[in-house]
Amino acid sequence: DQQVKQNSPSLSVQEGRISILNCDYTNSMFDYFLWYKKYPAEGPTFLISISSIKDKNEDGRFTVFLNKSAKHLSLHIVPSQPGDSAVYFCAASKPTGNQFYFGTGTSLTVIP
Amino acid sequence: EAQVTQNPRYLITVTGKKLTVTCSQNMNHEYMSWYRQDPGLGLRQIYYSMNVEVTDKGDVPEGYKVSRKEKRNFPLILESPSPNQTSLYFCASSLMGTAKTPLHFGNGTRLTVT
């Protein structure tokens, strides 16, 4: 039973434009959300996170938005760069924090 | 360099032949975990460990064993591998095992069981 879902397996965006990656979750116990980025032949690396007490967190070109009522979060990348081409995983955690639930990933391609 | 090291990177084996995938971290992290990545299923947690001698099941523990005898090492053991364990495996660690201390991942082990 997939508790974290990324319904878009892939996304293509022109360089300089905005990339929006979406993530939905079903478990209302989740209180912390993270985005990881993965390049081929490497492990995922942490990108940005957000606590459920916030609705937005920003780090440079990356912003994560959280809509708790809709159980939805999104990652915005502005402006998109070719080096952002990777698979992005959304993850969620409950207050105990010792288990992380990942989505299926969205493959982003930024076209130069 | 701070890192999580998995070995081997690639492994092809036959059904029933016991194997171990090693994982080591040099960051003095308390928490370590194993995941498998499968198409359409994302990353699923196999086992995790909050500290030495403390391990617990994740979402898909069947067919796997782990041990945490030392803080830095967290090997994944497949006693009798089967073809449905063909997958890409990732070891990860974090400072305290809370969501606010993000995971550091190894580069993965691609396992094929024939």
pLDDT, one tens digit per residue, over B41-70 is 989 999 999 999 999 999 999 999 999 999
A41–B92 CB contact, under 8 Å: no
pLDDT confidence of residue B101: 82
Contact B38/A at CB under 8 A:
no
Which of B99, B105, B108 is opposite residue A97, by nearest beta carbon? B99
Whole-number pLDDT of residue B74: 98
Q: Which of B42-51, B67-76, B89-98 has the lowest mean pLDDT?
A: B89-98
What pLDDT is recorded for position A96? 75
What pLDDT score was predicted for residue A110? Answer: 97
Q: What is the pLDDT of residue B102?
A: 86
Q: Which of B3, B87, B103 to mutate against chain A (most A CBs within 10 Å)?
A: B103
Q: Is any Cβ of chain A less than 8 angstroms from the Cβ of B60?
A: no
What's the rounded Cα separation, in Å, for the pair A52 and A74?
A: 13
Q: What pLDDT, on a 0 to 100 scale, did the predictor assign at position B40?
A: 87
A53 and chain B in contact, CB less than 8 A: no
* Yes or no, beta carbons of B99 and A89 under 8 Å apart: no
User: Quick one: pLDDT at residue A101?
Assistant: 92
Chunked into runs of 10 residues, chain A (112 residues) has average pLDDT values of: 90 98 95 95 95 95 97 97 97 84 96 96
Up-side HSE of residue A92: CA atoms within 13 Å toward CB? 24
Q: Phi, psi at residue A83, to the nearest 5°? A: -70, -10
Displacement of CA A15 from its chain's centroid (Å)? 19
Inter-CA distances, B52 with A26, A97, B14, B61, B71, Å: 33, 18, 31, 19, 5
B97 touches chain A (CB under 8 A): yes
Is residue B97 predicted with pLDDT exceeding 90?
no
Q: Is B34 on the interface with A (CB under 8 A)?
A: no
Predicted pLDDT at B73: 97
Residue B41 forms contact with A (CB below 8 Å)? yes
Residue B96's pLDDT band, with cuts at 50, 70 and 90, is confident
CA geometry: angle at A99 spanning A56 and B34, to 5°?
Answer: 120
Q: Tell me: the pLDDT tens digits for B18-32?
A: 999 999 999 999 999
3-state secondary structure of B7: strand
3-state secondary structure A41-76: CCCCEEEEEEECCCCEEEECCEEEEEECCCCEEEEE
Residues 64-93 of A with CB under 8 A from B: 89, 91, 93
